[in-house]
Amino acid sequence: MVKAVKGTLVKCDASIKAMLVKMDEDHNHEFIIEDLDEEHVLVKDSKLAELKQRLQSMMKERLKEPESSDSD
Amino acid sequence: MSASSSQALEYLELLPAQTHRKLYEQPSTALAVFRCMLPHLAKTIVMAMLYMTSPFTASDLDAWFRHDSKRERDKAISVLEQLHVVSARQDTPKHISYELNKGFGRSLRQALTGSGTHRSFGVPAQSTEERASIHFLDQYAQRQWENMLFYMVGSTVGLATANLGLDVGEGTKTLLRSGDFVRVTHGRVSITRTGFTFVLQEANAQVWSLLIVYLKHAPQLGMSETDVLSFLFMLGSLELGQEYTISTLSQTQVQMLEDLSAFGIVYRSSSTSSTFYPTRLATTLTSESGALSFSSTAGTAEAGGSLSSSGTSGARGSASKGYIIIETNYRLYAYTASLLQIAVLSLFTNLTTRFPNLVSGKLTKQSITRAVKLGISSSQILSYLTANAHPQMQKNNPVLPPTVMDQIRLWEYEGERVEPTNGYLMKEFASDHEYKDLVAYAESLGVLVWKNEGRRMLFVERLEQISLYLSKKKGER
């Protein structure tokens, strides 16, 4: 019998996906419903915003980029 | 079908069959749905079936299509079925025939031939001494609508002290809040993601978005959805500059007039007047031609304190005139005195200087990422800039400098590493055949987002039609 699961499909780079999966593991698997393929994961609707926010802060931590100067 | 009516179509599709049936009793509604909600192919099918006396067998319909156009056919039929314009009947197994909804057919025939005494196209008022001119109506509509937009944008970018956007009615404010266009925290109004999408749309699409929110809240205000909808469709078929009587309107519709005149969609000389005028916002509701254009507008120029009389009269003529120039070094110059336009620009531009008829600034990484954070997408920004580019820029191809376009996209991509889509994952198919069949169907509907053949899974945006299809299949077996 065919099953339909409600959720949000998240498309991202493989590297970003690795970070998402890591975060999921650190939080008792409360974000990801199913790992689909290299660039797609199925995430709980209600957790998407939180996941995005965590990703942003994680990126900020890991990637230090030079501040571009806008003076001219 | 224009982009603006597609969201109206989406809304219509979700209504139950009963509502559809009631709606189709009005010839004006049937005509409006036919004219601007249906894809071209669906129109052709409806036209062919309009004067048929007996049901139309599926095999006959198939004979009209090339084999490689099955996709288009499925799409057209599925829209028609969703709207309950056409219904499929299973006479015997393997023998399906289609039938046009009786009410829809009758109403559309009446609309086309002008027969019957339905009066659903409005009744012009006989009198009166003083008629409002088209020019006046345009100005009125523009003022009301821009006030509302400015209420949303202005307060976010900190221009709230200007005298524009203050006389927005309480009803309108409540509506904007309940549609999640703005959010009020500690008495301060700030715009939301939905609100941004709304502001950057073209006028006609804006009107529909707002009206759909209105429709969704109609039951709470004690109005019947059907009444509201058929009135809107009627408005779309009225003539600009003509005065109409309210004596043929229902209670709900009279109540609506008040709200609609607050939006600038209709004009009434006083709230007790027995007549009303549709404005351009109303009469373009169900047509493909653009509604009011809000570029160099007289109404806002006035509020900006630099009104010239030529600006007032020339505004309509130069309606589609662009005003933005962008250089390859990301500098932006906008020939405008309109506070609304300045406010919109400052959502994603770092504006530095303002002259009487010009503002200048620069697109920076900061300003773009700020906009992206607020929920505006790079493609929205680009389409806004393209649509409003200065005539001199319009001569270029592409209109905007490619470097700037790419950079804006890259800036956005930097902040947005994931691309979410809401929907449903379908899995655990019994057979390969079953899986492939559903993939093909989902693809033809245009709801397929992702599939993986190895694991027999697919992801769809919408489930309603898919589940209908599956249960139909089950029935066949």
Supply the CATH number for residue B69's domain: 1.10.10
Nearest to residue B322, comparing CAs of B261, B371, B378, B387?
B387
Same domain, residue pair B149 and B84: no
User: How many DSSP H helices and E strands does chain A contain?
Assistant: 2, 3
Residues in A lying within 8 Å of B, measured between beta carbons: 1-13, 16, 20, 33-34, 36-37, 40, 42-43, 45, 48, 52, 55-56, 59, 68, 70
Whether the predicted pLDDT of B7 surpasses 80? no
Q: Give residue B316's pLDDT.
A: 34
Q: Give residue B307's pLDDT.
A: 31
Same domain, residue pair B392 and B460: no
The Cα B140–Cα B298 span in angstroms is 11
The tally of domains found in chain B comes to 4
Q: Is B362's CB within 8 Å of A70's CB?
A: yes
Domains and CATH numbers, chain A: 1-48 (3.30.70.1220)
Sheet holding B95-100, edge to edge: B56-57, B95-100, B86-92
Q: What pLDDT digit, counting tens, does each position of A33-46 carry?
A: 888 888 899 999 88
Q: Is B417's CB within 8 Å of A59's CB?
A: yes
Residue ending a domain, among B54, B83, B113, is B113
Angstroms from A10 CA to nearest CA on chain B: 4
Q: Is A3's CB within 8 Å of B426's CB?
A: yes
What residue in B sits closest to A15 (Cα-Cα)? B417
Angstroms from A38 CA to nearest CA on chain B: 11
Which one of B365, B420, B430 has the shortest CB-CB distance to A10? B420
Nearest to residue B145, comparing CAs of B167, B163, B177?
B167
Does residue B123 lie in a domain region?
no
Give A47's contacts in chain B (Cβ within 8 Å): none
The Cα B361–Cα B379 span in angstroms is 20
Structure tokens at A1: 């019998």
Residue ending a domain, among B113, B148, B165, is B113
Same domain, residue pair B377 and B433: no
Structure tokens at A37: 């393929």
Q: What pLDDT digit, counting tens, does each position of B222-232 carry?
A: 888 888 888 88
Q: What pLDDT digit, counting tens, does each position of B192-236 carry?
A: 778 877 887 777 788 888 888 888 888 888 888 888 888 888 888
Same domain, residue pair B449 and B338: no
Q: Is B418's CB within 8 Å of A70's CB?
A: no
Does residue B296 lie in a domain region?
no
Strands (E), B246-378: 266-267, 275-278, 324-326, 331-334, 350-355, 358-362
CB neighbours (10 Å) of residue B395? 9
Same domain, residue pair B97 and B182: no
Q: Give me Rg for the CA atoms of chain A.
A: 15
Sign of CA dihedral B386, B389, B394, B396: negative
Q: Is B450's CB within 8 Å of A48's CB?
A: no
Higher pLDDT, A47 or B315: A47
Residue with tokens 């499929």: B88
Which one of A4, A55, A59 has the shortest CB-CB distance to B424? A4
Assign B1 a pLDDT band (cuts: 50, 70, 90): very low
Nearest to residue B330, comparing CAs of B366, B371, B380, B358?
B366
Residues in B lying within 8 Å of A, measured between beta carbons: 350, 362, 364-366, 415, 417-430, 434, 438, 449-450, 452, 455, 457, 459, 463, 466-467, 470
Nearest to residue B3, comparing CAs of B380, B263, B451?
B380
Strands (E), B186-254: 188-191, 244-245
Nearest to residue B229, comparing CAs of B83, B39, B44, B49?
B83
Does residue B352 lie in a domain region?
yes
Q: Give, rounded to a whole angstrom, the gap between the first and last alpha carbons of chain B.
A: 37
Using alpha carbons only, what angle is made at residue B97 by residues B54 and B40, rounded to the nearest 5 degrees? 90
Same domain, residue pair B367 and B260: no
Which one of A6, A12, A40 has the shortest CB-CB distance to B424? A6
Higher pLDDT, B309 or B247: B247
Structure tokens at B207: 């009107």
Average pLDDT of the segment spanning B353-378 = 87
Angstroms from A5 CA to nearest CA on chain B: 5
Q: Is A13's CB within 8 Å of B422's CB?
A: no
Which one of B415, B425, B466 has the shortest CB-CB distance to A42? B425
Same domain, residue pair B267 and B141: yes
Does residue B100 lie in a domain region?
yes
Encoded amino acid at B168, one letter? V
The Cα B344–Cα B202 span in angstroms is 13
Give A56's contacts in chain B (Cβ within 8 Å): 415
Residue ending a domain, among B415, B441, B465, is B415
Q: Give residue B305's pLDDT.
A: 32
Strands (E), B154-300: 182-185, 188-191, 244-245, 266-267, 275-278
Does residue B202 lie in a domain region?
yes
Does residue B141 lie in a domain region?
yes
Same domain, residue pair B217 and B347: no
Give A6's contacts in chain B (Cβ within 8 Å): 423-424
Whether the predicted pLDDT of A69 surpasses 80? no
The Cα B235–Cα B220 span in angstroms is 22
> Quick check: helix, strand or coil at residue A42?
strand
Q: Mind giving me the DSSP string for B400-458?
A: S-HHHHHHHHHHHHHH--EEEEEEEEEE--S-HHHHHHHHHHHHHHT-EEEEETTTTEE
Give buried/exposed letters for B215-251 (b at 16+ CB in 10 A, else e). beebeeeebbbbbbbbbbbbbbbbeebebbebeebee
Asked if residues B51 and B14 have their Cβ atoms less than 8 Å apart, the reply is no
Angstroms from B148 CA to nearest CA on chain A: 29
DSSP H helical ranges for B24-124: 27-32, 40-49, 58-63, 70-82, 102-113
Whether the predicted pLDDT of B302 surpasses 60? no
Average pLDDT of the segment spanning A2-19 = 87
Residue range(s) defining the domain that contains residue B210: 134-283
Give A59's contacts in chain B (Cβ within 8 Å): 417
Average pLDDT of the segment spanning B168-173 = 79
Does residue B298 lie in a domain region?
no
Same domain, residue pair B265 and B143: yes
Higher pLDDT, B193 or A55: A55
Does residue B54 lie in a domain region?
yes
Average pLDDT of chain B is 80
Q: How many CB pairs under 8 A join A and B?
A: 83
Residues facing residue B425 across a β-bridge? A5, B459
Which one of B418, B426, B450 has the shortest CB-CB distance to A4? B426
Higher pLDDT, B117 or B379: B379
Q: What pLDDT digit, counting tens, does each position of B61-76 carry?
A: 888 888 888 888 888 8
Give B362's contacts in chain A (Cβ within 8 Å): 70
Q: Is the peptide bond before B398 cis (omega within 30 degrees of 0)?
A: yes
Using alpha carbons only, what angle is made at residue B106 by residues B101 and B110, rounded to the nearest 5 degrees? 150
Instruction: State what percent of residues in chain B have pLDDT above 90.
Output: 9
Assign B295 a pLDDT band (cuts: 50, 70, 90): very low
Q: What pLDDT digit, counting tens, does each position of B119-144 carry?
A: 777 777 766 656 778 888 888 888 88
Same domain, residue pair B90 and B144: no
ipTM for the whole complex:
0.82
Give A10's contacts in chain B (Cβ within 8 Å): 418-421
Same domain, residue pair B54 and B160: no
> Quick check: helix, strand or coil at residue B74?
helix
Nearest to residue B38, comparing CAs of B46, B49, B29, B50?
B46
User: Which among B24-38, B158-172, B279-293 has the top mean pLDDT?
Assistant: B24-38
Same domain, residue pair B209 and B344: no
Give A55's contacts in chain B (Cβ within 8 Å): 417-418
CB neighbours (10 Å) of residue B356? 8
Q: Is A4's CB within 8 Å of B421's CB?
A: no
Whether the predicted pLDDT of B298 surpasses 60? no
Give A69's contacts in chain B (Cβ within 8 Å): none
